[in-house]
A and B are shown apart, each in its own frame.
Chain A
Amino acid sequence: MDIFPLSCIPPAVRLLRALLFFFLLAAATVRAQEAPYFVTYDHHLEEPGNLEIETSSTLGIPRSGQRLFFAPYSEIEYGVAGRWTAELYFEGQSTSGDSAVFTGWRLENRFRPLKREHWINPVLYLEYEGVNEATRIQKEIVGHSELSNARNAELADMHAHELETKLILSSNLHDWNLAGNFIVEKNLSAAEGFEFGYSLGVSRPLAKIATGGECRWCRENFIAGVEMYGGLGSTVDLSLHETAHYIAPVIRWQISDTSSIHFSPAIGLTHVSNPVLLRFGYSYEIQAFGRKVARMFGGGP
């Protein structure tokens, strides 16, 4: 595990460095009207053969006595087939007054059982997570929560192999997207039972009609919404006490045909939630990636 001490650098400089690191990464991920959510999934999958590279981060504003953390993660999303999208994640974390650590990887798959658009569109989600307890990206909130002050070095040594499934339900109604996810997670490395969580999202493009000319700032390039997510306990204790919940306005800005940024300030609703989570993301899409690779090897048109 690569750990390097940060305690000798002032916190403001560390935060600035972390933000700079994020924006540099950003110069390296979603295209036409992707949903602006960070946690909630809708029923739209990656277009077959397209590759999307996204770099996002979660900045956790602490309660008193807690420490600020910055958790960047990168994801590579590929449209394997028309109804199958796979994503690979790598994530890390840096805590103020502590160290920066690599916190693991995730491989997720989303399958769409129905071929056509329906009033409600289900998607099945299956993910394997090879992470450690220092993970802070908070891509999903499940079970019960606690705000820990343990050192990264200790947490990084506690590995967890987890399986996560989601039932994603999503509808497009009069230009509004409504999405709900029910999450079940099982830590295969500890007897924690099955943990449950949820996320709900609603979003809408700011303009219904596309203008003729190229424009960066026009309303059609923006989608705004709100999402809410949190834990629902576990089979060990099926209750809402000590569960974290967040409500988060979200916005996505399509800055070019192939790239977009999105932002969300999430507000913690319970005493075990972080007061604020600031999420940023940048995504870049390579269209027909599969075909371009096939051409390199002499296949495809």
Chain B
Amino acid sequence: MRSPRICFWLLLTIVPMVVAQNLNYQQDPTWRAPAEASEKTNPLADRPELAAGGKKLFTRSCVECHGKSGEGLKKAADLQLSVVQGQSDGALFWKITNGNPDRGMPSFSRLPELQRWQIVLHLRTLKPTESSP
């Protein structure tokens, strides 16, 4: 009697999880940093050597979805595109901080502020390419 009951509860748990998983991510045109956030400048802008630390953080936290060179996998943005590189440091920082949870991009506000700015430094080292039409 116990096994069917356990199976029922497991199914009841697992099925909604699978259904809720976002498997078809597409870029969200409404995901824009507020003007005030976009205007912020990177406090580490004059310390480019800290981009190495940013690369390490990027490798730990971002590569799984964005790829080693930021080329982007199917569900995550290609960070080399000019549509991304054209955004201000403040806008990128805001996006790393807040994420876009409904589209699969987690918030990284748990990282210290300066480490998030280090990630922005690293993003600027990615080779920009033209956006596809």
Chain A interface residues toward B at CB < 8 A? 31-35, 42, 44-45, 47-49, 78-84, 86, 88, 107, 112, 115-117, 172, 174-175, 177, 205, 207-214, 220, 257, 287-288, 290-291, 294, 299-301
User: Once the chains bind, are A78 and B17 in contact (CB under 8 Å)?
Assistant: yes
Q: How many angstroms between the C-alpha atoms of A212 and B73 in the bound complex?
A: 25
Question: Which residues of chain B are within 8 angstroms of A88 by Cβ–Cβ distance?
Answer: 13
A-B pairs with beta carbons under 8 A, tally:
115
User: Once the chains bind, are A82 and B22 in contact (CB under 8 Å)?
Assistant: yes
Q: How many angstroms between the C-alpha atoms of A174 and B60 in the bound complex?
A: 22
- B residues 92-107 in Cβ contact with A at 8 Å: 97-107
Q: What is the CB-to-nearest-CB distance from B57 to chain A, in angstroms, rounded to a whole number?
A: 5
The stretch of B83-91, B110-118, B125-133 in contact with A is: B110-118
Interface of A (DSSP majority class): loop
Q: What is the CB-to-nearest-CB distance from B112 to chain A, in angstroms, rounded to a whole number?
A: 4
Number of interface residues of B (CB under 8 A): 43
B74 at the interface (CB under 8 A from A): yes
Chain B interface residues toward A at CB < 8 A? 13, 16-17, 20-23, 49-50, 52-57, 59-61, 64-65, 73-75, 97-115, 118
Question: Which residues of chain A are within 8 angstroms of B113 by Cβ–Cβ distance?
Answer: 174-175, 208
**Chain A: CB-nearest residue to B74:** A301
Q: Return the contact of A117 from the options B23, B57, B65, B107 (Cβ within 8 A).
A: B107
Q: What is the CB-to-nearest-CB distance from B14 to chain A, in angstroms, rounded to a whole number?
A: 9
